[in-house]
Structure 1
């Protein structure tokens, strides 16, 4: 196995280079607030936090009733920033999301839509028509809206949490690959096991329909500082090669019609930095990359029709690719 140099051999004290201990403390507060209400769904919560630190967006996919929307709302409320929720429907127009110009007092005035917030929850993103979905492209990638020749930047931090139901396809519009590629992660959510189901009944069975109380754990300013610190987490040269090898192998795999784009490499890179910071480290290790790889690539590859008919999942192909690559140490 290849050797990676000791990340501490920089000649500078740890505290003067990157105060990741503050990130770990802040993240633990967010976890604590969400866990007051949510049972299980640990991967979803962790990857939401990773996306927040990485300035990325999340696509949540799962059947109704598994707390996709509730967890997203609690996550948003655990950060002291703006929050808005948009319910996508077949009759939703781009102006309903982005905003529109209104003639007022002899001139046109731009009235901002609900997308102009810090954390935006989009429920059932695949229910809106293609033109409304396409209106999200610029917002998610460039973090701005262009309307009538004017550009309106989004406030920072900015993050989109989108949900979709994989089993109810009637009246839905499949997200194009170009838009899927703009999500940092696609998270698959499963049903709770027996113990978790009992815990849900104990925790929520006697509650009223009122919204659970969440105390903001960190401020928007702290999020921006955490994001800046996270971007400084060190990634060794050999680990860059490890990431690139994973992604490139998807492009010539016999079971895949299309492999991952370079945006996948960047997604794994940034997510692995966030995972390291969340663990209190200022350097990435191979395990961080392995944890980030599948959720960062599962929506960026396309199976061959034969493999799809056989019921092979993208995750299974990706697991095989990851296992075939030597881990640098």
Structure 2
């Protein structure tokens, strides 16, 4: 019998039962076809009884090293504290769990060197694949080039880059819808809180917004488009600057709800009321948007669904199946922050 002071192994149980180690492996790994070929019902029963008696637990780490893969998925996020990304991750994690996979998040702070470090750590764990939520627009893609070279399955989520599979939204359409709404409201002097320059989300939403106005024969002031992090502090600071201009913009499009909320805070400090003195439109439609004192008009994205699709695409890539990006359609939710033409 195996030494009770040591954890049971496939080899020790095979020796005790007088069968080949591969027979024990097939029985305990639950491969029905393999079990029928490997042993009689009596031998199968003996193996399972001994495993139960010894409280046998598979050595998943050893299995991962042997198979060069695990049942884990690494999710690279720019900031875990971001409610938008957290909502997307909720969809990722629940869908992965249903498929028998575990997920873990690595926070990259939206910095490419840190992104590479976190990804390399995940690869040392022989993860089954990666979901990348912090891709950067640009000519060089060191992480994606590495994953492609090593044949590691991956998909992008939320952000998108041409030539790479992604689960994301039609952000350019979302910006176009926001512009159409403000234009039809009568707003011509509009500022844009455009987010990070390297993020496809902000760039695409800004592109769609400015394109709509250009199609109406209006070129928006370039100096009224400001870039920065996707957070409320930045929105407040950018709002103070833009609202302090003479003349000031009539309306504001923020490519993220937190930027819009920060801007509305700056407007409050200056005695201005969104929906009366200025018009404000955000993006993502987080739950807080319609709970504000002045509910925020926002472009709604199906964030949980986006995370679900990211996992579905990744699992297909893991299986070697052909895949194509999934682009979800945004919808504009009009509320009091932009319900009337500003006075």
TM-score for the superposition, normalised by structure 2: 0.26
Higher relative contact order (CA 8 A, sep 6+): 1
**Bigger Cα Rg:** 2
